[in-house]
Every structure is written in C-alpha cells, then in structure tokens.
Structure 1
Amino acid sequence: MVHIAALDPGASPLDYYGYELRRHREAAGLTQKQLGDIVNYTGSLVGLVETARRVPTVEFSERVDAALGTGGALSRLVGLVMRSQLPGWFQQVAELEARATEVCTFQMGMVHGLLQTREYARATLGALNRAGLDDRTAVRLARQRIFQKEEPPVFWMVVSEAALYQQIGGPETMRGQLAHLLDCEDDPQINIQVLPFTSGAHAGLTGSFNLYRFAGDPTIVYTEGYGSAHPTANPDTVKNCSLRYDHLRAAALSITDSAELIRHVMEERYGEPGDSVA
C-alpha cells in the first residue's frame, strides 16, 4: 500500500483527490474498510482511490461527502478529476462542452457521448480496447453533468437514422439507449432530430461535427479523427458548418416525428425488455 507521504497532491487532480479523501477519512477516525461499509463500497476500492489508482465516480464522491461531512468538497473536485482523465487531445473539447451555452451536433453512426447510456458508452469504448473500461466509461458519463448545471446548455442532436439500427452492445443495450433518447422528449434543453434514410444526399455526408456556441466568445467547430481533435474558430469554417447544420435540421424529421421513429425502431427491431431478438 502506498503511504500518504508518497502521494504528491500536486502531481495531478487525481492525486489531489486521493490526498483529500484520505485526509478527510483520517480526520473522521475511520479506516478504509469502515468508510467503505458506510458508503457501500469495498475498503479496497477506497484504498485504490486514495492512492490515485482508481478514478472516483460522481456517486462515490457524493456518498463520501455525505459520510464524512465535507460540505461537498469531493463532489466539486470530481469534475476536474474526470476531465483530467480524458485523452489529452479531447480535454479541450470537454472544456468547450462545459462552457458552451449551446451545443449542436450531427452524428453519422452513433449517439453523441452526452446522451449515451452507461451500457452503450461501455460498448463503444470497449470496441477495440477494454483496458480500464470501467474508469473510461465513468469519465465519459461524467461529461453529462453539464445538464445538471444551474444554466445548462441547449443541446441539439441531428442523428442519422443509421445510428438507430447500428446494433451497439446488443439488443438490450440498444433498447435502453433509444428509450433514453425518448426520455429527453419533454426536456426543452435537449432536442433530437433524426435524419431519415429518405433524405438522400445531405449536407453532412462529409462526416460528423459539432458546433459550440458561447455567450461572449466566437463559435467553435469541432471535428474528430482517430485519436485527434480538430477545433477551430476560423470564420469561414464556422460559417460553412453553421449553414450545413441549418440544412441538416431542415432535412431531418421534426422532434415529434423523430421520437415516433425512434419508438418504432426500438419496439420493432429491439423488442420488449427481456425478448430474444435475432
């Protein structure tokens, strides 16, 4: 076991979190096992988090804050920890998401990460590499906390109908993911439109992209490659992609009709919960 003196709180946000967790736990006079019993986690997990060998989740942080009476200190810190665990090339994008007043995304082949369920996110992240999959999944899901802010961003997603049929993670996972999209139907901050197969050639054939809009800063266009991010505020690129997005929204089904299509695909292709779908 790594001793507290060996953990440098200035080394990283994860190290700082572990240092603070141990400091608060010891101040409360609890062992790792005792704290684990209180918050319904194992003592070994508490130890792994304290020694910066495991990424804490939002739920873990909230439970420990309540148990140790920290006034929400760890819950405030966990967002920074999560962002620091993102791939270096993606960290700037997470910052854009966190600051934006409006996020507009066009997705060709899958649901955007901000609307993914745990099972769907796990399946996408584990397609080629399953190392550290639990931590990587938790980090992706933590980005969704932007919707819990006092002033959350307006989120628009135009998604190709193909993404509804691309069976990621199996029928149960897909049914849960589509059900989650339907749960967003009554949230005015989250707007989902499906671009149907019948739209034919469309303005997004070049690929997926995001637009981040801010209260006082220029709009950012973001595209992604394999292991690389390409954000730009170039006025010509922003103008071009904004026009493309307007055309995509016009070609897509309405929000209501999109929900009906999602519901149809969910029921017809992925069946009822527990059904065996060929």
Structure 2
Amino acid sequence: MPLPKDLDPYANPRAFYGAELRRLREAAGLSQNELGERAFCSGTYIGLFEAAERRPQVDISRALDELLGSGEHLQRLCRLARTSKVAGYFADAAELQLRAVSIAEYSTMVVPGLLQTESYARALTRAAHPYASDDVIDNHVRTRMERGSLLDAPLAPVLWVILHEAALRVPVGGAAVIAEQLEHLHAQGSTRPRVVVQVLPFSAGANPLMDTAVTLMHFSDEPPAAYTEAAYSGQLVEDPRLVEHISSAYDLARASALSPEASLSLIESAAKGHATDAHLT
C-alpha cells in the first residue's frame, strides 16, 4: 500500500512517521513486502504505517531502525505518533474500531463504552480514578462520549454486545444512574438495526470469557484483531491463532446467552426495578 499522494507528512506526527519510513525504505531499495519480510510482518502492515492508517508500534519501530540503519529515528517519531486522548493500552484498539466493519464485545460487569451514558461513564471513571481532579474526570468522560459517535457514522460498524447479567444488577452511580443507562441500552438495542445486545444470564454458569472483557474487530481488507482488558491494563491481540481462539470462546458465550429479544426484555425489567428503587430513596 503506497503512501497516498495527498497525504501531508507535516499534518501530524503519524503522517510524518509514515513519510519518514517510506523515505528510509526507498533509500534502502526495499519494497514494502521485502521490508515486511525482514521485520517479520507483512508488506501490507508496512503500507498501513506509511499511509498513516495504523499507529506505529514501539517494537517494530526498533526493528525497522535496525534494518534501515536509522539509529533511533523511527523510535523517537513513534513516541510522538502514539500520543492519544485515551489510555495508552487502549489507543491502538480504539483506532482499529474506527475502521472495523463489525465489533463484537463481551463484558462481565460494565456496559461497554460505545453504549454508555454520560452519567454512567462519569460514575465508572470516578470509581476507577478516586483521587483524580474533576478536570481529569471530565476529560475522560468527554473522550468516551466522543467515541460513542462512531455508531452515528454513515458506515457505522455492526456492534454485537454480550453483557453478563451482573452488569444489569450492580447500581453503578446509584439507582437513578443505572436505570438511565439500562433504558439507553434498551433503546440502542431496539432502535438501531446495527446494534445487537444479548445478556448472558446467571443461570448460564461459567463461560470461557468470564474473567475478562473482550472486543473482536473485523475489517474489510485486514485480518481480524482482538482486544482484551482488565483493570488499568489491556492488550491488542493480532496473532491469528489467538484471535481465532478468542473468537471461538466468544461464539460459545453467544450460544449460552439469551436471544436478543429476551435480552431486551430482561434489560427493560432491570431498568424499571432500578427506577423504582430511585423513586423510593
């Protein structure tokens, strides 16, 4: 994938990284495929970096510097290009979601970020960062709300969410906040044809993904990728065998979950229960 002619290398650090990588590669007389082979990745992957469509990676930048004899040039540019408004461990996955044609999420305890309300997101963020200033919390919440606009894009991905029933019962932010969140979740699953929500009930017992949060992403012209997350950490998974393993585990969880229709009914019932609690307090 060659660098697009209309890509301004000075537009942002990632574009500059891509332009410099291409300059160094061509000076070495290597094609994208040849450089990819030497760096143990595909030529397409190199092309994505040169086209500024993928955030450069620290490890591969180090390998490319060694292969191209560029000292630490690409590694320094990589640090600039990897700046992001979201947590560093999630930044790569967040960018991949923008290009995905489908996103499949599994969450045990919380509603996934793309479907969160502002009040719910604020309650979660405050719980995760109890000593942060209000400005820091506001920035986190604003960024999360901006990500939700992905579902309004003309080519919005299909979003399939499997949510454990526990996420419906924990009163994050209090009864009123969780009631509003579940009402919003019900509305998204009911009115958006490209959003499918399933609930994995307590009665389903153990499942392969119960100790983690998982996001699977599929693309029109790239291999699928996965992202796993725990508290304060996350990992982008691109190894085809591991992505397939995670995908199979997701399919098993999907098979054990309630149907979308039954799931929406349970979400609606849980929302009414929390709303009643809110009125009583």
Structure-1-length-normalised TM-score: 0.67
Residue 156 of structure 2, aligned match among 152, 160, 176: 152
**Equivalent residues in 2 for 1:246-261, closer than 5 Å:** 246-261=251-266
Distance 1:265 1:226, change over 3 A: closer
Q: 1:164 aligns to what?
A: 168
Residue 229 of structure 1, aligned match among 229, 234, 247: 234
> Which segment is superposed worse, 230-239 or 189-198?
230-239
- Is the partner of 2:280 in helix, strand or coil? coil
Structure 2 distance, partners of 1:11, 1:203, is 41
Residue 186 of structure 2, aligned match among 182, 185, 201: 182
**Equivalent residues in 2 for 1:1-278, closer than 5 Å:** 84-127=84-127, 128-129=129-130, 130-131=132-133, 132-184=136-188, 185-271=190-276, 275-277=279-281
> Which segment is superposed worse, 194-203 or 104-113?
194-203
Task: Compute the RMSD of aligned alpha carbons.
Answer: 2.1
> Which segment is superposed worse, 127-136 or 170-179?
127-136
Give the CA deviation at 1:261: 0.5
Letter matched to residue 251 of structure 1: S
- Is the partner of 2:279 in helix, strand or coil? coil
Structure 1 distance, partners of 2:88, 2:211, is 25
- Is the partner of 1:110 in helix, strand or coil? coil
Distance 1:271 1:90, change over 3 A: same
Give the CA deviation at 1:269: 3.5
Letter matched to residue 270 of structure 2: V
- Is the partner of 1:275 in helix, strand or coil? helix
Structure 1 distance, partners of 2:230, 2:268, is 31
Letter matched to residue 169 of structure 2: Y
Structure 2 distance, partners of 1:11, 1:157, is 34
Between Structure 1 and Structure 2, how many residues are aligned? 199
- Is the partner of 1:204 in helix, strand or coil? coil
Give the CA deviation at 1:11: 9.4
Q: 2:71 aligns to what?
A: none
Give the CA deviation at 1:88: 2.2
Give the CA deviation at 1:119: 0.2
Structure 2 distance, partners of 1:153, 1:235, is 21
Structure 1 distance, partners of 2:270, 2:231, is 30
Identity %: 32
Unaligned ranges ≥5, structure 2: 1-9, 15-82
Structure-2-length-normalised TM-score: 0.66
Q: CA contact under 8 A between 2:108 and 2:211: conserved in structure 1?
A: no
Letter matched to residue 96 of structure 2: L
Structure 1 distance, partners of 2:261, 2:11, is 50
Structure 1 distance, partners of 2:149, 2:218, is 18
Distance 1:167 1:236, change over 3 A: same
Give the CA deviation at 1:12: 8.7
Structure 2 distance, partners of 1:151, 1:11, is 25
Structure 1 distance, partners of 2:186, 2:230, is 29
> Which segment is superposed worse, 131-140 or 117-126?
131-140
Distance 1:178 1:234, change over 3 A: same
